[in-house]
Amino acid sequence: MGARPPHLLDFQDWTPERLGAILDNADTMLQVLDRPVKKVPALQGLTVCNAFFENSTRTRTSFELAARRMSADVLTFAAGASSVSKGESLRDTLEVLTSYKVDAYIVRHHAAGAAHLVARYSGKPVINAGDGRRAHPTQALLDAYTIRQEYGSLEGKKVAILGDVRHSRVARSNAELLPKLGAQVVLCGPTTLLPPGLAQMPGVTLTTDPREAVRGAHAVMALRLQRERMSGGFLGSLQEYADTYQVNDTLLKEAESGAIVLHPGPMNRDLEISSDAADGPQSRILKQVENGQAIRMSVLYHLLVGRN
Amino acid sequence: MTPKATILTADEVRRALTRIAHEIIERNKGAENLALIGVHTRGIPLARRLAEKLSSLEGVDVPTGMLDITLYRDDLSEVAQQPIIRETQVPFDLRDRRVILVDDVLYTGRTVRAALDALIDLGRPAGIQLAVLVDRGHRELPIRADYVGKNLPTAASEVVKVKLQETDDVDSVELWDMEALR
C-alpha cells in the first residue's frame, strides 16, 4: 500500500491503494451514520482544530461533525473572529493553536499553499480543506466515492466537469484524483475559464464543446460559476454562459443513460445547472453531502489512528 | 514448525460447540429471542455453527451477525499499523433480544470490552452473554465468559491459535511458543 503520507494536502504522495482504502472505510463510516448512536470512540482524547481562514459553512460543518462522530474534541477557529483580522500572521496564529495541544489541523485558506505551510510548522497531520484555486482533496474524494457508489468502480468511467475550471480547486483535485483511480476526466468551459496547462495531467482532456465533453459520460459535474471572480472579462454575459454550458436535461441526453449529476455546491440554480438537473432522478448532489461526512471521517481515521 | 501442543482436535471442537449449544439452551430456557453475534474474524463462523446447532436442537432459527470492533479499540493511538476496518452486519433489531457474543479466544478482555461498547451502540439488547471457544486467562478487565469450550491456562509467552474450516481449512486449537512464530 506504500508508506502512509503524514498529511492530505493534495494527492501527490497518495497511492491508488491508500486512496482506495479511504473509500472502502467510508462504507463503514456511512454505516456508523445510520446507527442509533452515530458515534465511535476511535479518536477519543484527540483534538482536531478546524482552522478556517476563509468563509465556509458546509465544508466546516462537515469536518466538524466528522471529527465529533469519531469522538475527537473540536476547536473551531474562524479567522474573521480572531486576531488574524487584527494583523496576526498565520505562523503566529499556529503557534498559539499549537500551545492548545492540537493533534491535527483542518485548514482552509484563500492562498494556495497555505495548508503546506501549516504542515511544515505544526508538526501535526494537516488536511487541506481548500487552498486558493489549488486543491480541495476531500471534495474530490467524496466525488470519487459518490461515483464509485453508483458504478462499483471508477475504472474506465468518463467524468465530465463543466464550468469555471480556471478558478476551481474542486476541478483541479478531481483531475488529479480520478485518473489515479482509473477514470478519465474531461474538463470543459469557455476558453477564458479553461487553463490549457491542465491538459498535461495524465488522464485529463480539455474541450470547449459541452456536447463533446458530456458524450458517453458516466458522471457530469457542474462547477459553481464564481460570479465574484467574473469581473475580469472572462464571460460575455451570464446568459450566454448559461445557454452554452449549463448542465440541464438537454445536455444530459448526450451522456450515458442514467449518468449521475454532481455539483460541489453551493449552486447557482439555473445558471451553471438547471433546477431540473439539480433535483432530477439523476442528481446525486445531496448524496455528495452525506458522503462528505463519511469520507472526512475516513480521512481523519487514516491520518490519525496509529500515528503515535 | 510444529505447535507445542494440540489442545483441541476437529472432533473436540465439534463437541465443545455442541456442549456450548446445550448450555445456551439450558440457561436461556430454549432458543427463542436469542441472537448470535460473532466478533471478526473467527467469532463469525463459530457464531454460525452455534446457530446451526441451536436450530437442529430446538427447531428455532437464531439470527446471526458480525461485529468489527476496530473503531472501539482502546489502543488505536498506539498501534503501529493502521488497523483494517471490516464489516459490521447486524441485520436484525437488538431490542428485547438476548445476544450471545461469540469469539474464538478470551485473553485480556479488551476485545470483549470493545465489542460490548460496539454492540450497545447498535441498539439495546435485553441482555448480552459471552461464548468463547478457548479461555486462556490473563484478564486485564473484570470480564468472564458465560460459555467456554476449553479453559486453557497459558503463559504470556504462548500463543493460542484457533483454526477453523471456514478460515483455515481445518478445525483445531493449538498452543505455540511465541518465539517459534517469530
A27-70 tens-digit pLDDT = 999 999 999 899 999 999 999 999 998 888 889 999 999 999 99
Walk along chain B (182 residues) and give the pLDDT tens digit of each residue.
Answer: 889 999 999 999 999 999 999 999 999 999 999 999 999 999 999 999 999 999 999 999 999 999 999 999 988 877 777 788 999 999 999 999 999 999 999 999 999 999 999 999 999 999 999 999 999 999 999 999 999 999 999 999 999 999 999 999 999 999 999 888 77
Distance from CA of A37 to the nearest CA of B (A): 5
| Burial class of residue A268, CB neighbours in 10 A (0-12, 13-18, 19+) | middle
- The residue whose grid cell reads 482532456 is A205
Chain pair A-B, CB pairs under 8 angstroms: 57
Q: Which pTM value belongs to this model?
A: 0.92
- Closest in A35, A43, A304 to B122, CB measured: A35
SS3 content of chain B, % helix, strand, coil (to 5): 30, 30, 40
Backbone angles phi, psi at B169, to 5 degrees: 65, 10
Q: What is the pLDDT of residue A80?
A: 66
Comparing CB atoms, the residue among A40, A70, A306 nearest residue B79 is A306
pLDDT at A66: 98
Comparing CA positions, the residue from A158, A159, A224 lying closest to residue A193 is A224
B40, B69, B70, B71, best to mutate vs chain A, most A CBs in 10 Å: B71
Angle at B8 between CA B5 and CA B10, to 5 degrees: 125
Cβ-nearest to B85 among A25, A36, A308? A25
- Residue A95 confidence (pLDDT): 84
ipTM score of complex: 0.86
Q: What is the pLDDT of residues A72-125, one digit of tens each?
A: 999 998 776 555 666 678 888 888 888 889 999 999 999 999 999 999 988 899
What pLDDT does A281 receive?
A: 97
Could you give the CA distance from residue B37 to residue B60 in angstroms, rounded to a whole number?
Answer: 16
| Cβ atoms of A208 and A190 closer than 8 Å | yes
Chain A residues in contact with B120 by the CB 8 A cut-off are 37
CB–CB contact A40 B122 (8 Å)? no
Rounded CA separation B143/B145 (Å) = 7
Length of chain B: 182
Question: Nearest Cβ partner of B82 from A4, A32, A39?
Answer: A4
Q: Are A166 and A195 in contact (CB under 8 A)?
A: yes
Query: Which region among A92-96, A134-138, A274-278 has the lowest average model confidence (pLDDT)?
Result: A92-96
SS3 for A222-274 is ECCCCHHHHHHCCCCCHHHHHHHHCECHHHHCCCCCCCEEECCCCCCECCCEC
pLDDT interval class at A306 (50, 70, 90): confident
Evaluated on CA atoms A249, A254, A259, A263, the torsion sign reads negative
Strands B172-177 and B158-163: antiparallel
Residue B121 sits at the chain A interface (C-beta within 8 Å): yes
Three-state DSSP at A11 gives coil
